[in-house]
Structure 1
Amino acid sequence: MKGLSDSVGSNSYNLYPACKHASVAITHSVRRELSQAKIAIKITSISPGLVKTNIASKTNLKNLFDEIPALEPEDVADAVLYALGTPPHVQISELTIQRTGEP
């Protein structure tokens, strides 16, 4: 799972997004390898936007959720359950989840 904020770098924050992009590429590569080997395992790259968790309370971002619309953890859990609940012939290869109004 890769957060959407991981997709944008900055001067002091450039390696983290690159690693997250790499995790998506690896996910797609493994999915293709499993498919070619006729192994029926689904792999989905899930990228949620901002999610209301306690991580912000442990940083200098305590007021973040007052300023930016955020998803609830249950929203992400529902999306994961959706991907897991698809029929065997359906592959959700990538799923992006954002709150309406999130920049």
Structure 2
Amino acid sequence: MHHLKDRKAVISGGGAGIGQAVASSLAAQGVRTAVADVQLPEIMQENIHAFKCDVSSGPSIDSLFANVQESIGSPDMLICCAGRGIHEKLTEGDPEKWRQIIDVNLMGALRMVRAFVPGMLEAGFGDVVFISSVSAGQAYPYGGIYAATKSALEIVAETLRQEVLPTVRVSVVAPGVTNTAFFENTVSGSQSVESIGYGFISPEEVAEAVLYALARPKGVSVNYMTVRPTGQPF
């Protein structure tokens, strides 16, 4: 982990769940960390800078960019964790809700890339990590919109990797069922980690995978990792 000390990170969705676990782990390794989320906990770690931000809004991203530059400088790590779930049938669901999911899960990550990766290219080094899902490429009833955003996100990740190599490393971490408030905050649907029935992993275990990718020596890339409960079939 000595490769992480004194680096600078910005994390979307860093106020809870996987994003918060990543932020806490990075800060513990001496990384100057900025987190962005629509809702932030009342107490953050002392060395974490927290900013309210809606990643689906261009002006909100512009404000975040200015705040991050002022607080920690130009980050050399971007971790895109912001995301929401939805669980409804394509022939019965609400297209306006689908748009919300696309705006956060896909457009939010694209806006973060557009804002922060040019600075990494200019500096000559950086890392981008996208939190995807095992649902990417996996069609299942009621999961079409969410799975589609994660499939698209992985295409974005691979496109970005090819566009910025060898200057910036790009990694995808695809978790399975994770015990966070994700299911409580889905736009529609009533699943829980218990009702899915595959077991679950903790957000800290996903964060360990993120840190593993980030801590590789310069010139070594970990481009894709799947982390899921052993009993999960997909």
Deviation at 1:66, TM superposition (A): 8.0
Query: Quick one: which of 51, 55, 78 aligns to 2:178?
Result: 51
Partners of 2:193 and 2:163 in 1: how far apart?
43
Query: Quick one: which of 66, 73, 77 aligns to 2:203?
Result: 73
Q: What's the TM-score, normalizing by structure 2?
A: 0.38
Partners of 1:74 and 1:63 in 2: how far apart?
16
| Percentage of identical aligned residues | 26
**Which 4+ runs in 1 deviate beyond 4 A?**
none
2:173 alignment partner, SS class: strand
CA contact 1:47–1:96 (8 Å) conserved in 2: yes
Q: Which residue of 1 aligns with 2:144?
A: 14
CA contact 2:169–2:221 (8 Å) conserved in 1: yes
Deviation at 1:99, TM superposition (A): 1.7
Evaluate the alpha carbon distance shift between residue 10 and residue 66 of structure 1 in structure 2; reply closer, same or farther with a 3 A threshold. Answer: closer
Letter aligned with residue 74 of structure 1: E
Deviation at 1:98, TM superposition (A): 1.4
Letter aligned with residue 8 of structure 1: Q
Evaluate the alpha carbon distance shift between residue 7 and residue 54 of structure 1 in structure 2; reply closer, same or farther with a 3 A threshold. Answer: same
CA contact 1:52–1:65 (8 Å) conserved in 2: no
Evaluate the alpha carbon distance shift between residue 63 and residue 3 of structure 1 in structure 2; reply closer, same or farther with a 3 A threshold. Answer: closer
Q: Which residue of 1 aligns with 2:168?
A: 41
Q: Which has the higher contact order (CA 8 A, sep 6+)?
A: 1
Q: Which residue of 2 aligns with 1:28?
A: 158
Q: Which residue of 2 aligns with 1:98?
A: 228
2:156 alignment partner, SS class: helix
CA contact 1:3–1:47 (8 Å) conserved in 2: yes
CA contact 1:56–1:64 (8 Å) conserved in 2: no
Partners of 1:31 and 1:63 in 2: how far apart?
32
* Structure with a larger share of its residues in strand: 2
Evaluate the alpha carbon distance shift between residue 85 and residue 63 of structure 1 in structure 2; reply closer, same or farther with a 3 A threshold. Answer: closer
Structure 1: gaps spanning 5 or more residues: none
1:99 alignment partner, SS class: coil
Deviation at 1:52, TM superposition (A): 0.5
Partners of 2:218 and 2:225 in 1: how far apart?
17
Partners of 2:191 and 2:230 in 1: how far apart?
21
Higher alpha-carbon deviation: 84-93 or 61-70 = 61-70
**Cα RMSD for the two superposed structures:** 2.2
Partners of 1:96 and 1:24 in 2: how far apart?
13
Deviation at 1:69, TM superposition (A): 1.2
Structure 2: gaps spanning 5 or more residues: 1-130
